Homo-oligomer: A and B are copies of this chain.
Amino acid sequence: MATYDLATQEFLKVLTSVLGPVKSSALALHEPNIGEHEHQLVAQCLSSGWVSSVGAFITQFENQLSKITGAAHVVATVNGTTALHLGLYAVGVKPGNEVIVPTLSFVATANSVAHCGAIPHFADSSSETLGMDPIALRKHLASTTTKRGGDLINTKTGNRIGAIVPMHAFGHPMQIDELDLVAKEFGLPIVEDAAESLGSYFGKKHTGTFGRCGVLSFNGNKTITTGGGGAIFTDDEVLATKIRHLATTAKIAHEWEFIHDATAWNYRMPNLNAALGCAQLDRLDEFLKNKRNLAKKYQTALVDAQFLKFVSEPTGTTSNYWLNTFQLVQPDLQTRNELLAAARTQGYLCRPAWNLLHKLPMYQNSPRAELPVAQMLENSLINVPSSANLGS
């Protein structure tokens, strides 16, 4: 029996023991959990007539997020991609700059850089956290960059490096304290991609609050959803004011004049979506508890496994376990694909980590560090069904 047949057997056994057999339709990777409370707040929003870019639920949603994350200022946006774009723009990323991003991430992390007219510069991952490896990054920057007039310059391309975007993969906090040291050493601002990590903490501090600003996503597959939505948060009042202004066509307040003082965007979350978000945030503790229960079940089921191991939250952090993640003990793309296909035939809609961004056609020529760990992770990670209700 080939290795991957044994691995497949093990994988299916674990899935069935935790999730039970799939009866009718397939079991999705992550589904929204929408109940009576969501119906009530959304109906209240519709009845008020305030469904668009201004409304009480937007303010309430931002205040709730501020309380949860501990960030002083929050600006809700139409989605996480636009939030990242605006965050990068606001910290001063200019066309032709390079921005350090992990190659192991969702494509929006690199696209938001491109939306600034800038170039993603890919960094390697840590096998402990699945996020950017700060130690490897320090070595890479030390050997490939130079300081010139206050700017950090890529000596090979001649481009200014404008920012670092760490990402907390699948909800697991990356080593943000060490990255913060690296960023300070090289004089780079951090824009923290916490799209997947609402409810995840590094020490006692919420992910996304370590950088100049941080970003959340509330897409339908996230821990809470607003349909589509995102948010930028920061403790810097000046930056927050700038971001809010740029997200609302840079319009100057006036009784009737239409004066806009900068090229800007229409990136604000509508009140209708914020109403759904307020209700979802009221239930965040319930979701996080259930997701933690589910993670525990997966972890337990994998204790004696031979081919697979469970990816636990890094030491000193609290993960939201957004997407529970298994790892092949022997990384191998063919085995990974066999497992994914086998699970699918049984109705479990599992997925791999993302295809590494530096291999996608539009980013193949982008600058990059050596990326051996990310390559190993691409060949070995599998996400399994993780909806909150599965852990209740």
Contact = CB atoms under 8 A, between A and B. Distances in A.
Nearest to A43: B39
Nearest to A51: B227
A263 B78 contact: no
A170 B229 CA distance: 29
Nearest to A114: B263
Interface in A122-161: none
Interface string A206-226: 000000000000011100010
Copies in the complex: 2
A82 B262 contact: no
B52 A34 contact: no
Nearest to A115: B265
A79 interface: yes
B266 A362 contact: no
A267 to B, nearest CB: 9
Contacts of A258: 106-107, 352, 354-355
**A: interface residue count bin:** 35 or more
A255 interface: yes
Contacts of A265: 81, 111, 115
Nearest to A361: B261
Contacts of A227: 51-52, 270-273
A262 B47 CA distance: 41
Nearest to A95: B117
Contacts of A20: none
A42 B46 contact: yes
A260 interface: yes
A347 interface: no
B78 A79 contact: yes
A284 interface: no
A261 B53 contact: no
A115 B266 CA distance: 11
A346 interface: no
A10 interface: no
Contacts of A257: 352, 355
Nearest to A383: B256
Nearest to A82: B266
Contact of A270 (B52, B95, B228, B251): B228
B49 A107 contact: no
A73 interface: no
B52 A228 contact: yes
Given A228-B78, A276-B272, A354-B258, A266 B52 contact: no
A2 interface: no
A350 interface: yes
Given A34-B46, A262-B361, 4 more contacts: A39-B43, A42-B43, A106-B258, A228-B266
9 contacts: A34-B46, A52-B219, A95-B117, A107-B249, A107-B258, A227-B270, A257-B355, A258-B355, A261-B360
